[in-house]
Structure 1
Amino acid sequence: MTIEGNKDEADKCIEIAQSAFSAGDVEKAERFLLKAERLYPSLRAKELLTRVRTAGASGNSSKRTPPTSPNSSNEETVRKRKIPSHQPPQREYTQDQLDAVKRINTKCKDYYEILGVTKEATDSDIKKSYKKLALQLHPDKNHAPGAAEAFKAIGNAAAVLTDPEKRKQYDLRGDEPVPTQHSHHQYYARGFESDLTAEELFNMFFGATAFPGGGPTVYTRRRAREPEPRETHAGLVQLLPVLVLVLLSMMSGFFISEPVFSLTPSSKYPVPRETVNLKVPYYVKENFHTDYQGSLRRLEMAIEEEYIVGLRHACQRERNFRESAAWKARTFGDARQYAEAQRLRTPSCDKLHAMHA
């Protein structure tokens, strides 16, 4: 039976229910309204069903029945108790789930904070954090208010930060705070939105069967009105090049190895070392001596080059700051501030001079 045929049958059931309700037969009215809802859900049927149930609960309307024996009355009472309420069960959630949703929706200012990583996080760190949060916030597992919006937020953040080009542009220009609930949960920053939906990104990481027992969510209900098979196949063929590019972009991060060293200590790089030539301090992993098979001399040359480039940038910033302070003091004719500006130190420049001395 077609959808329009279902609608016609549902309208007939509503008319019968209205007549029964007017005659005081609440049970019959409710039965036909429930049938109408199964055939073709509509606001008209829902509103009338609410009125019928309210009247039945308050006892304002009652069905006229012929006198029956006490036994038949008991049977009727038992039968009525077995009628299902047809109301969805209340979904529960924990305080931890609610706190996680509130953190994403109301407290985070950028994509890094949404995923709980630093700006120095590697691609694998971002993917690991996304997987952990996605399992915690997926609407099939987390029923707290706002879980769907938080799930979209982490999906958008992961899609941008795992794309090297988008992440580079975001780091340069994406310093606007992420809008909160007052902006209808649109998680973006100067046009940095993901081309994938949150559910599509989740399925790429976990597969479509991550929650085999989960109920329908806002991302799967639209399947009820899928086009005909031929139209679906044609649409997939047209989207195939785009999907291939997206998959290649997402999977490229899996083949990028982590850096061998770090110029700053961390839990991942706890072992201190220094280069032979310029005595530049750097830090490596605990298994560096056994796992690293490359040329140590070339590695230390790369470390020294990166260190010097960083010093040059820091030195330029220090000089700019000192010159700006001196110019401001001269402009306002403040001799004391001018003297203080002249005394400002430039430690990065001093280190550069010491290296080249």
Structure 2
Amino acid sequence: MESNREEAVRCLAIAQKHLSGGNYPSARKFAQKSISLFETPDAIQLLATINSAETSTEASEAASTSSATETHPSASGSKHRHVNGNASSSGTAGGMGGEKREYTPEQKEVVRRVRACKITEYYEILAVKRECEDVEIKKAYRKLALALHPDKNGAPGADEAFKLVSKAFQVLSDPQKRSIYDRSGSDPEDRSSGMASAASSFRSFNGGGGGFEGELSPEDLFNMFFGGGGQAFGNGGFGGFGGPTVFTTSFGPGGFRTTRMGGGARPQQANAEPRSVLIQLLPLILLFAFSLLSALPNLFTTPPVPDPHFSWSATSTYSAERHTGGLGVQFFMDPNEIMRHPVIGAELARDGIDWRKLTTNTDQNPTKAGPALAKFERGVDNTYSQKLYAECQAGTDRKMRLKEAEIGVFGIGTDWAKVERIQKEVIPSCEELRKLGLLR
């Protein structure tokens, strides 16, 4: 309720103070209290931060404990037996220091369901649909966090289930991470998946074996066509590169001169009989032929005729008023230009219509739009809608910045009446899109 807002803000500030001091249970207690009094995005984000920080601390403590128990195996075995002994009791499980942690069958079932999910099945972990809204994700997280918190749920595996829920909320509550996860289906914070995919593609290109070991230099590319002969292309790909045999080519008095170095090197063949010039230039001829063939369609097609100009407001030049047949957008055209247009003007002339003879008192749509004019008007509708979308987005962003600047980090000292006025501010371009049926 609105009356609980100030108390919620006070609890949020106390929670932040406990988080700074490392007192995670108290910080969580006051953060949850703030949410129950008056839910705000800052309180939900702070609760997620508390859970994440506590998870990191527990992981580091578990690592140090594991290192210590490896040094003293007898202590590890004693603790293991103690925990198993506690876990065998009905409705209890061993907790930190060997104390019994109670749980109910319902709590145990929640733990079992969450742990049965794969670690990256975030929607299944939170038990929400893929197309759900952010509000549903937050509600599901609060419900599971309260049910699985180690202080309230002593069932075996509750700690791991709680970490899975926290990780799922951390990804799905962030729009950017959620978008990446929806596209890839993997953890967006795991940077190794993209590297593995790139490495696999590179191995596929290499043919799994003796392919390119690095980038080709211009000399290598030239030798690939002219200097390598059959050996450069043998053995399943460009096997001659990166191996013991190196080919170089240069121009000399006798045409091309080829030198082969390494692996039983042969003497320089300066006077060797040059190959046919046509064969040597064959790669360049093929490249030229492909370029010519790709350009042929453009040689026999007529360039498109540009559309006539138009204006959103009437001027001495743009005096012919008209409304589009689709959205009914008002625009103005130059009657002389429209009648000179090779397509639209010819279409109007066939119908015996001359826009230059129309007066300002004539009906705004004096002619029925033919195919060419109708196509042009669809372009006008598209331009107008894009203009409205851009203005609507700019206005929405401006409102969001003003709202965030007024609320601040924790909402302390916020003028909520001003925030409400900002929220209710009408954006004309957005309203126009709604009237046209282009925006819900």
Q: TM-score w.r.t. structure 1 length?
A: 0.29
Q: TM-score w.r.t. structure 2 length?
A: 0.24
Comparing both chains, which one has the higher relative contact order based on Cα–Cα distances under 8 Å and sequence gaps of 6 or more?
1
